[in-house]
């Protein structure tokens, strides 16, 4: 029996009442709320328990965890929130559910651009927002985000909803670089180049390329790894084989890179254990496990990317701090609606 005790539930409405009703936990435990699928963090947590002896209790949900912690207030059992995307990380700060992480270990391991200025959230791994391009129908080896507005791509682009956090992050980065007016013009032109209404997740866009419905699609890098290694649904390996990754703006400012990260809960019942966990997650040992398991990029300097990730090409990340990009999330959402992005092309 593994030393890591997991309380994993498929629905938040069921999971958290059961978690709250559990007996008081011992000092040797830490309670984790996470948006990340349990299997993605299990190897990491098992390594943490093996090294520290601290047991981990995990509650997983796909949405609403930050709001739940806020509603629970001082009675929340959450010690840490593990999440993805700058929107959710900065959202935890905005909800008032985070407390600063005061740690020389974290400050030494994680560069400032991957941390909130007040350490209310800590970045752990990076995922680039890239272009999946058909090997058969796209000849070019480079691209820019700006180029997605070029009429040559009319009817050839697939993407997920404009209101999804991943898209909002990219649009916010465009605002940070070009301003709201130019970004609105750009996004309206991208909408006209869509092959269909935005729908599905990032893997669904690659499936659409494989099926010939479009030629390029926006997606996060780690989905390539998930598809290439999917033995349960081997058809996804065929999807992945039909495309290659283009890293946008590699010859300029670099590709937009978002984060997975962690937050120390404001009313953490086990703050010392929580801090121990956060510090562990920033070590080279943990960064290697986390990044390799999730096909992501380590943010701790000196940790190499996995061979699989390296095979996709060289990433030049946009060095604009995510805290700067996060300022424009609201404006990005408003622009998405204003141009009717999710309605798809007008003709």
DSSP bridge pairs for 59? 33
Find tokens 């507005």 and name the residue: 149
- 3-state SS, residue 72: helix
Listed residue (237, 213, 234) closest to 223, CA to CA: 237
Contacts of 139 (CB under 8 A, 6+ apart): none
Task: Check the annotation: does 145 bind a ligand.
Answer: no
Q: Pull the structure tokens for residue 225.
A: 């790894």
DSSP run (H or E) holding 18: helix 12-21
First CA to last CA distance, the chain:
58
Q: Pull the structure tokens for residue 22.
A: 């559990």
Task: Check the annotation: does 132 bind a ligand.
Answer: no
- Interior/surface letters 287-316, b for 16+ CB within 10 angstroms, e for the rest: bbbbbbbbbbbbbbeebebbeebeebeebb
Distance separating alpha carbons of residues 109 and 281, to the nearest angstrom: 10
Which residues carry a binding-site annotation?
Answer: 222-223
Which residues carry a binding-site annotation for Fe cation?
Answer: 222-223
């Amino acid at each position: 029996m593994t030393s890591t005790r997991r309380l994993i539930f498929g629905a938040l409405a069921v999971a958290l009442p059961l978690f709250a009703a559990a007996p008081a936990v011992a000092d040797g435990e830490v309670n984790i709320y996470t948006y990340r699928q349990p299997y993605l963090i299990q190897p990491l947590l098992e390594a943490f328990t093996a090294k520290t002896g601290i047991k981990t209790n995990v509650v997983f949900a796909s949405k609403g965890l930050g709001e739940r912690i806020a509603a629970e207030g001082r009675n929340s059992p959450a010690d840490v929130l593990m999440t993805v995307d700058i929107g959710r990380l900065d959202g935890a700060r905005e909800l008032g559910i985070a407390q600063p992480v005061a740690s020389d270990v974290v400050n030494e391991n994680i560069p400032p651009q991957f941390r909130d200025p007040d350490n209310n959230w800590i970045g752990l791994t990076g995922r680039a927002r890239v272009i999946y391009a058909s090997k058969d129908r796209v000849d070019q080896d480079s691209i820019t985000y700006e180029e997605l507005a070029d009429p040559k791509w009319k009817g050839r682009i697939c993407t997920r909803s404009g209101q999804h956090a991943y898209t909002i992050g990219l649009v916010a980065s465009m605002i940070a670089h070009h301003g709201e007016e130019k970004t609105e013009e750009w996004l309206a032109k991208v909408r006209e180049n869509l092959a269909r209404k935005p729908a599905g997740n990032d893997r669904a866009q690659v499936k659409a390329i494989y099926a010939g419905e479009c030629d390029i699609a926006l997606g996060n890098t780690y989905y390539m790894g998930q598809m290439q290694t999917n033995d349960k649904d081997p058809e996804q390996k065929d999807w992945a084989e039909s495309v290659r990754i283009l890293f946008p703006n590699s010859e300029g400012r670099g590709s937009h890179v978002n984060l997975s990260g962690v937050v120390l809960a404001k009313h953490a019942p086990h703050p010392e254990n929580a801090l121990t966990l956060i510090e562990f997650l920033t070590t080279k040992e943990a960064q290697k496990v986390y990044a390799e398991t999730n096909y992501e990029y380590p943010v701790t300097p000196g940790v190499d990317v996995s061979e699989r990730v390296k095979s996709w090409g060289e990433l030049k990340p946009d060095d604009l701090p995510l805290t700067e990009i996060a300022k424009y999330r609201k404006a990005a959402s408003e622009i998405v609606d204003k141009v009717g992005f999710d309605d798809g092309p007008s003709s």
